[in-house]
Amino acid sequence: MTHLTRRNLMKTAAATGLAGALGSRLAFAADEPLGITLVIPSPIGDVGWGHALSAGLDLVKAAHGDKVKVTILENIAEGPDADRIMNKTVADGNKFLIAGSFGYQNGALQIARRDPSVTVLHASGFQVAPNFSPFAAKYFQGSYLLGMAAAALTKTGKLGSVSAFAIPELITTINAFTLGAQAVKPDIEVSVVWVNSWFDPAKEQEAAKALIAQKCDVIFSNAQDTPSVIAACEEAGVYAFNLNSSMKKYAPKTYLGCISTDWSPFFKASVDAHLAGTFKGANTFLGVTEKVVEVIDWSPDVPADVMIKIKEIEAKIADGSFSPFTGPITKADGSEGVASGASLADAEIIAMDWHVKGVATPLPK
Amino acid sequence: MNAIEFILAGMLAAATPFLLAALGELVVERAGVLNLGVEGLMAFGAVLAFIIVYHGGGHFLGFVVAGLGTAALSLIFAIVALGFRANQVATGLAIGILGQGLSALFGKTYESLTVKGLPKLALPGLSEIPVVGGLFIQDIIVWLSLAATLAIWAMFTYTKVGLVVRAVGENPKAAHAIGYSVITVRVLAIAFGGAMAGFAGAYAAVIYTPLWADGMIAGRGWIAIALVVFGTWLTGRVFLGACLFGAVSLMALAAQATGLDVPSQLLSSLPYLVTIIVLGIISADRRLLKLNGVASLGEPFER
């Protein structure tokens, strides 16, 4: 019976003009569940990046039930260890790999090139192959909105951000945060502390305290996976917000909001495409419009009139009529960043390596 | 609060995890044993203390359990390294990996949870001095680790116990010949070092940060081992190194927060650079270095 199914599928595949390789992939899918492996660099907690990615697979599991088998490998350091582990899981028959960190790029790409029947989704990268899609969230759309709220709440006019590494994804969130704040109060300043680490709760907390000591009274926890910064801000009585998943319970009094990410529609669409044999690698940059990025758990302290403005901008971002990176924008060094009336294209945003005027800390080169 | 006040107020607390672990390792190495498992012992102590405090056991019990737990774990090291005379480097690394594994296992359901730290105690009078006052407002563990530093210094300088530990490290055969049990001294030193590493981890998890996340020790155990070597096995220098490391780490962050135009990668590496340079200069005299170095470090003892 299995044999017949396989042959029939092969025929169908040939008839519809699909490649032989695709046919065998379909046959494999029909025989046994599709193995999906998610590899992430940090442990999965109740919150954070790893949590957001693993929660994104819930919809896939609900939709396909027994037809998929999900494996999550957490706390895998970037580098040779990750390459070995990804190779192993693919060799074990898992044909759908989600590489959840930028540093997995080269190893994951090699796997995709070697075996065309494998589909790879890779977080925050730039390389594309027929069976390899990088994906990233337009966090900056959310940080613009939180910038507006921060400007309305700050008493000192100084905002801060504890940031992991100076990569474009995090530079854009700081820039949009600054621009959003300046849209409400033009003379706002933003200080940034780069901790140069994805994961060091003690150091992140020291960085938050350093910013608070400099009179920053709204802190943006930019890509920390633990509530280190959020908890320190609650203790010091300053507002704070973060990316990926809500940390409201760690700061019941001073939590400003969360730029949450919901990867489930994207993961489901990709798995569906893989099962149907129609997956095509592409650079996917998803935001408010696609409902991947959404600001949740707004603080009740944001003044009502500002909240109305924020909701207006949010609606405009969703329907595509407004982009945070619309000119005129001046760079931190005084030169022109975006000309008046122009907007940055996605490709320019993904590669952004400059700060806007108002970011007080020079960008590391 | 300006940047200077921020650094002065925070440096002792930032230094405490390094200091506690380094003091423990100092005693272990002075007894002639090299235990490279500090990182894992700290992680194990951190998770034990966190579990106790999270379930309402209180900070005191948390520290006690962390100390006992890591002392027990380090006794496994003692059995293998002293009893079976296995290679100490390999055994230490293995125990370190075991400690990290156990911490991840025990901490699985506590990932990213937080607890309340301890209140800070101000030294009356001193804490009201402008600018430097913050230095004298610290939690109880910081004060206790300063006391421990003094006690260990006094032990090595003035007491017979200190001399026995040093004799066992310098020349175990001679110490044995005059009737001291080399193995007993070393086992006790290892247990003490283990407990101190546990306290260091507990401080990081339930007072300093205070949260649990797998991997939160983030290399601090290794820095503690390096501090012992760069501090040339002298208590005062180890203390100085730990404070320097804490202060420069905070300085690097404060410099960024004030918008100083220095690349952040350089600032991030500054604590390591400054500590190495300063302790390197202090111990530039090679003759003194040889004098302070532990002669039988890492060598198994056979009667």
pLDDT digits (tens, 9 = 90+) for A337-363: 999 999 999 989 988 999 999 999 988
pLDDT of residue A21: 43
Q: Is B170 on the interface with A (CB under 8 A)?
A: no
CB B42 within 8 A of CB B74: no
A–B interface: beta-carbon pairs under 8 A = 116
pLDDT tens digits along B212-243:
998 899 899 999 999 998 888 999 999 999 99
Say yes or no for a CB contact (<8 Å) between A191 and B208. no
Q: Which of A48, A191, A196 sits opposite B257 (nearest CB)?
A: A191
Task: Round to whole Å and give the CA distance between A156 and A28.
Answer: 61
Say yes or no for a CB contact (<8 Å) between B249 and A207. no
Mind listing the domains of chain A with CATH numbers?
2-137+263-286 (3.40.50.2300), 139-260+292-350 (3.40.50.2300)
The radius of gyration of chain B from alpha carbons, rounded to an integer in Å, stands at: 19
Q: Which of B1, B2, B211 sits opposite A201 (nearest CB)?
A: B211
Spatial CB neighbours of B80, under 8 Å, sequence gap ≥ 6: B86, B91, B94, B95
Q: Which of B213, B254, B263 sits opposite A226 (nearest CB)?
A: B213
Say yes or no for a CB contact (<8 Å) between A228 and B211. yes
Say yes or no for a CB contact (<8 Å) between B209 and A194. no
pLDDT tens digits along B180-190:
999 999 999 99
Minimal CA–CA distance to A164: which of A244, A73, A236, A239? A244
Q: Is B171 on the interface with A (CB under 8 A)?
A: no
At CB < 8 Å, which residues of chain A contact B? 42-48, 75, 160, 166, 191-197, 199-203, 205-207, 209-211, 213-214, 216, 225-228, 231, 250, 360-362, 364-365
Cα B115 from chain centre: 22
Sign of CA dihedral B126, B132, B137, B138: negative
Residue A246 to residues A10, A47, A51, A171, A212: CA-CA distances in angstroms?
47, 7, 11, 21, 22
Q: Look up residue A87 and give its two tokens.
A: 């190779």
pLDDT of residue B1: 64
> SS3 for A191-213, per residue?
EEEECCCCCCHHHHHHHHHHHHH
Query: In Å, how far is B287's CA from the nearest CA of chain A?
Result: 37
Task: Round to whole Å and give the CA distance between A298 and B138.
Answer: 35
| Chain A residues lying within 8 Å of B17, measured CB to CB | 202
CB A195 within 8 A of CB B256: no
Burial (CB count <10 Å: 0-12, 13-18, 19+), residue B52:
buried
pLDDT tens digits along A23-62:
444 444 456 899 999 999 888 877 788 889 999 999 999 9
Nearest CA in chain B to A206: B250
**What interface predicted TM-score (ipTM) does this complex get?**
0.89
Classify residue A160 as left (phi > 0), alpha (psi -120 to 50) or beta. beta
Interface residue of B39, B261, B264 to substitute, partner A, most A CBs within 10 Å: B264
Q: Which of B3, B214, B263 sits opposite A213 (nearest CB)?
A: B3
| Chain A residues lying within 8 Å of B208, measured CB to CB | 202, 205
- Which DSSP helix (H) or strand (E) runs through B294? none
Would you say residue A13 has pLDDT above 60? no
First to last CA, chain B: 60
This model's pTM is above 0.90: no
Q: pLDDT class for B263, splitting at 50, 70, 90?
A: confident
Task: Round to whole Å and give the CA distance between A57 and B116.
Answer: 33
Would you say residue A22 has pLDDT above 60? no
pLDDT of residue A18: 41
Say yes or no for a CB contact (<8 Å) between A360 and B259. yes
Burial (CB count <10 Å: 0-12, 13-18, 19+), residue B212:
buried
Pick the CATH number of B3-292 from 2.50.20, 1.10.3470, 1.25.40, 1.10.287: 1.10.3470
